[in-house]
Amino acid sequence: MRKKLLICAFLLCGVSGAKAQTYTTVENISYVEANETDAYRLERCKVDLYMPQGVKDFPTIVWYHGGGLESGQKEIPQYFKENGFAVVGVNYRLYPKVKNPGYIEDAAQALAWTFKHIAEYGGNPDKIFVSGHSAGGYLALILATDKKWLANYGADADKVKAYLPVSGQTVTHFTIRKERGLPNGIPIIDEYAPVNKTRKDTAPIYLITGGRDLEMADRWEENALFASVSKNIGNPNVTLRELEGFDHVSVLGPACLQIVDYIKKACPESQPLRLSQMPGLEQPAFAPARAMQPQGQTVRNLDEQLSNFTPTFLVYPDKKPANAAEANAIIQELGLRDYMKKYAAQVIISGPVGDTYNAQADLAAYEKLFNSLRAVGNLKVIGLGAGATFVNQSLAAHAQEVAGIFTYGGKAGSYKAAQAAPVPAFVAGATAKQVAKLYIEQNAAKATGATGAFQYYKNADEPLQQVVVSAANYPSAASALTDAWEQLLSKNYRFNNYKHTWYTGAKLNEFGPYELEPTVLPGHAGVERTIKLIDIPGKTTKYLWFEYFPKGTADADKPAEKSIPLMILLHGNTNDPRTQAETSGFIELAAEEGFAVAELEWQGNGYEAMGLDGVESTISQILAAHPQLDPSRVYAQGLSAGSFTATTLGIHGSYLFAAVGGNSGGLFPGGGVSRFGASYDMLVQNARQKSGRVEMPYCSICGTDDEVVVFPKEGKFEQSSIYWAWKAYQILNNLPETQGLDFSKDATFGLTLQNRQHLETNKHISMETGELLSAKGTPLIKMVAVNNYGHWNFKPAARVMWDYYKHFQRNTQTGELIYNK
């Protein structure tokens, strides 16, 4: 019964591949050197290559046929076809025309040929798998364990993604024993036995055999021995799978099913996506299910970037996609799976409402599609051919929410560019120069130079308003997209917090043009990022934080001791632990001003929640690990819940910080212990005890249209946590305590402030700032209001905060605050 079930499952899987994908086979490719003269080698040493078309970076399986090293022909197993990967079917010389190690040498040379040449056919040499049945399984195993065979041909056995031998011998092969006149049933374990060559650092090896009671003599036992020996020497990469109910021959089918499943799991990006038609739209719009929802808050892959503003690619192809399979083919053709994997990108493949693109109808359809996305802040529009014409002539004139446009071919637009919102654009193809003219005018950009095939145009006041024109002759749209991403699309996202908070969503045109913001990718901002996962005694969870040092300063041997300030960043409630690093502006400032940054996963979110004491102890660990950091210049900044925590820390841990503050958060009055670590009454009591003995500079930033943490306004200021934070820090700093606000004194803050300023920015958003001074003239509280802004960071405000912080340090011996004018 078990055997029947496995066969049924196998047959069902065999028809579930990506049928829309096309494949081709190239036969009889020689893998020997061009100067080879041996007639038998020239006849036998060939491969057949079966591969998907119109795809790049596909996985490849190198397959060695069985036949006891005495018979058999290269083959492409039917089970491997139409599964999104390539197959190299290998012929090798056979006994008795050749003797050991001729078979092994041929197997090694064929695999080395694959490493060297598969990229020429579109494959990825980092995604090579090796397998074979029976004698072919033996060849796969000896190559996996004894590195010399591949090394002879300039390849590394451990660069194989995985070895998956089926019913292969792990002792010296019986044909090699026969050559020596040895009895067939007596095992030999010598230099030609994979079990004698296994190492603790091999690539993954997945052993597959039939049932132990049905397999060829001792074949399961040999593989079990190999697995046991590997485990005993410390190799964690060997797995044994016994397929019960199958003998040495019938095991091939279900074993191939196991191999297909293994490759798909190891290389999920090579498989067609599960796309669905987005509901409620007239035009075709195919996307993975998650692209139809607002983006999540947390990415668990710590090596990648913040998820909030990862790109959404909206593609208008040359021809209307009829179904999900055709949309998948466009994704594969453009290589968008790479962006989905590396940048957590979302992809939508759209098309015209009718059979061909129509400027008005398809623009209306675009508006409906955009509104269905709710909160999208990094929309990249791609136009190809006729789709590029639609983008150039219609969508580009209404792209105030679009972070970047890439068009490949198509006709130029004719709208009034000076009246359209600026949008960064990369244009390529035969019509690129003509197409670029409107984009250049739209961005009020000027030529700034050329590099290679690229001509650059930038706006003097906002460099993110730029156009790149490529004169390259691209072999494909995918290669043009690679340049578009590197040159322009990866540089920015788009963001609108005007009169609302971005993550609550917005309809097209509802709040005006979106801000252009620079994207902070690891390595792009002039800083070096390190991930810290620290064990905690008695805990199964770990502390997590990210450290960012300006390039060249992370090595303690280079900077002088105690020469680099440290900025602590605290993210908002349940946010990703990279939120502040990538959206606050402090990472860019760190590279410019020469300070280090650490963003803490202070809430937990799957890691260990730090709490106030944990934050302080983590800072102590960071200072101890990096003697170049200056403990007298430690600052803290947070967003929302992180701002509540930074505000609390300034009173609770005043010995540690030289200044604290935050965006969109303060302190709520009351006696209960809040989820941010302390009650207001306890903090105020602490502040009164320290008043006159401790000074703590405090910087408060909030948008005047923040609907989450409201800004103090006439008649409503007592409902604002910002107001109560001001009061707590007036007490701590021995300043006159405010008893209400009088907006006749100041229409924004309701207080008489010193050094009052109105600041305009190139984001078309303004700020109001002012300070409360001590009797000595030290500015101990700085207030910043971002006009008409919602609940989030405003990057230009980071400069205001840093320019305030950098004047302060704390004597680590006496605790005295030092103000350096």
Encode pLDDT of 636-684 as tens digits: 999 999 999 999 999 999 999 999 999 999 998 876 555 566 788 999 9
324-360 pLDDT, tens digit per residue, is 989 988 998 898 988 887 887 899 999 999 999 999 9
703-735 pLDDT, tens digit per residue, is 999 999 999 999 889 999 999 999 999 999 999
Residue 742 has pLDDT above 50, yes or no: yes
Buried b / exposed e over 713-736, threshold 16 CB at 10 Å, is eeeebeebbbbbbbbbbbbbbbbe
- Distance, CA of 799 to CA of 637 (rounded, Å): 12
221-236 pLDDT, tens digit per residue, is 999 999 999 999 999 9
- Distance, CA of 575 to CA of 582 (rounded, Å): 12
Residue 375 has pLDDT above 90, yes or no: no
pLDDT tier at 522, thresholds 50, 70, 90: low
Which residue bears the tokens 């929640």?
609
Weakest mean pLDDT among 28-42, 445-459, 549-563: 549-563
- Distance, CA of 674 to CA of 649 (rounded, Å): 13
Handedness of CA 789, 792, 794, 799 (dihedral sign): positive
Encoding tokens for residue 316? 């208008």
Residue 64 · residue 136 · CB < 8 Å: yes
**In this structure, what DSSP letter does residue 293 have?**
S
Phi, psi of 106 (to 5 degrees): -65, -45
Q: What is the mean pLDDT of residues 155-165?
A: 98
Q: What was the pLDDT predicted at 8?
A: 37
- Distance, CA of 557 to CA of 539 (rounded, Å): 33
Q: Which residues pair with 131 in a beta bridge?
A: 63, 164
Q: Which residues pair with 691 in a beta bridge?
A: none
Is residue 411 classed exposed, middle or buried when 0-12, 13-18 and 19+ CB atoms within 10 A define those classes? middle
Phi, psi of 47 (to 5 degrees): -130, 155
Count other C-beta atoms under 10 Å from residue 530's C-beta.
11
Weakest mean pLDDT among 3-12, 229-238, 809-818: 3-12
Residue 688 has pLDDT above 70, yes or no: yes
Encoding tokens for residue 66? 């069985």
Query: How much is the mean pLDDT over the chain?
Result: 91
- Distance, CA of 453 to CA of 149 (rounded, Å): 44
Q: What was the pLDDT predicted at 74?
A: 97
Percent of the chain as helix, strand, coil, to the nearest 5:
30, 25, 45
**Which residue type does 322 have?**
A
Helix (H, G, I), strand (E, B) or coil at 633: strand
> What is the end-to-end Cα distance of the chain in Å, rounded?
85
- Distance, CA of 533 to CA of 536 (rounded, Å): 10
The percentage of the chain sitting over the pLDDT mark of 90, rounded to a whole number, equals 80
**Which residue type does 792 have?**
W
Phi, psi of 755 (to 5 degrees): 55, 40
- Spatial CB neighbours of 394, under 8 Å, sequence gap ≥ 6: 359, 360, 362, 363, 413
User: What is the gyration radius of the CA atoms in the chain, in angstroms?
Assistant: 32
In whole angstroms, what separates CA 459 from the centre of its chain? 29
Q: What is the mean pLDDT of residues 400-408?
A: 97
pTM, to two decimals:
0.73
Helix (H, G, I), strand (E, B) or coil at 67: coil
Q: What is the mean pLDDT of residues 31-59?
A: 93
**Which residue type does 496 have?**
N
Residue from 66, 76, 77 nearest 219 by CA: 66
Q: What was the pLDDT predicted at 294?
A: 43
Residue 445 has pLDDT above 90, yes or no: yes
- Distance, CA of 803 to CA of 42 (rounded, Å): 74
Residue from 227, 202, 66 nearest 146 by CA: 202
258-295 pLDDT, tens digit per residue, is 999 999 999 987 777 889 999 999 999 999 876 544 44
Q: What was the pLDDT predicted at 673?
A: 54
Encoding tokens for residue 359? 């400027």
Q: What was the pLDDT predicted at 640?
A: 95
